[in-house]
Structure 1
Amino acid sequence: MAGGGGPQSPTNKVFVQRDYTEGTAVRFQNKFPQELERYVERHVFENTINTLNNFYRQAEKINSSSFCEGCLACISAYLLYLCVETHYEKYVKQAASFIDHQNETIYVPRGLYITDPLERGLRVIEITLLDARP
């Protein structure tokens, strides 16, 4: 009866909120949560958040490629999106892959699990503490 793709029976959660200081673009605060001090180093956490912010910035970036993609989609009555992955989807998938890799190599071995922000509507990054360390 378990839902989602993450580990079950969490003991605690930490949420990293969106950063709206530079507008409404998808960006998360890289302020290190005190609750994670016993689990992961500050620079490792900040690198993860900064890399995710970079993926989302690239996803929302408007360039000639994304402009042409939008024009072709409009001309084809948006049937283009049935055949082609969008510029945005490419970067969101890269971010999800990065999170999976970070979980496998860094966070799960240290008792943490990062949930893909897309699963939370890009509102927060949820970090689950898998085991309560004293």
Structure 2
Amino acid sequence: MGLWLDAAGQDQIRGRQIDEDTWNKFICELNYRYEIAEKVSSATVMETIFGCLSCYLIKLCKRPSFYKQLDEIAEFIEYCNRDILIPRGLYAKNPIEKGFRVLEIYLIYEPYDSKMEVCHDVTKAPKLVPRL
């Protein structure tokens, strides 16, 4: 698959009390874990062969090692969110939820800006009419 995350987005979160070393360690650890998950070994080859021979019924008995690694990566991201990122006002979304295209970092605890606020009076909104 060749998944590789880049730490270049650090400029956009620089004022979020996260230093460059912590950010780079987080990205490098994710890259390392994805590299391990994608690694072809004799065990993964045997899983594939047994899967083909059993019409993939073996997946009902044994979870493939790739998915085990993805579960470990999800746990790692949860740990980093809980202990490192959320206290600094950031939240990392698991890349698998976006098809490994992007690692989304959400800025949380944004300061309130009254100029950006658009207030809608929901009591004056038109009522919904069901279709018949």
Bucket of the pairwise TM-score, normalised by the shorter protein = 0.7 to 0.9
Larger Rg: 2
State the distance in 1 between where 2:76 and 2:111 align.
26
Letter in 2 for 1:33: Q
Report the counterpart of residue 51 of structure 2 in structure 1: 73
Instruction: Determine the structure 1 residue equivalent to 2:94.
Output: 116
Equivalent-residue separation in structure 2 for 1:80 and 1:44 (angstroms): 41
CA distance in 2, matches of 1:71, 1:129: 44
Higher-strand-fraction structure: 1
Structure 1 gap segments, 5+ residues each? 1-23
- 1:27 and 2:4 matched: yes
TM-score by length of 1: 0.78
Whether the 8 Å contact between 2:38 and 2:66 is mirrored in structure 1 is yes
Q: Does 1:129 align with 2:107?
A: yes
Would you say 1:102 and 2:80 are equivalent positions? yes
Shift of 1:32: 4.5
| SS of the residue 2:103 aligns to | strand
Corresponding residue to 2:36 among 44, 47, 58: 58
Indicate conservation of the 8 Å contact 1:72/1:80, yes or no. yes
Unaligned runs of 5+ in 2: 113-132
**Aligned twin of 1:83:** 61
Q: Percent identity?
A: 31
Q: Which amino acid in structure 2 is aligned with residue 82 of structure 1?
A: L
Which of the pair has the greater relative contact order for Cα pairs under 8 Å at 6+ separation? 1
Please, what TM-score do these two structures have when normalized by structure 2? Answer: 0.79
Note closer, same or farther for the CA distance 1:61–1:28 as it changes in structure 2 (3 Å cut). Answer: same
Which consecutive aligned stretches of 4+ in structure 1 deviate over 3 angstroms post-superposition?
none
More helix by share: 2
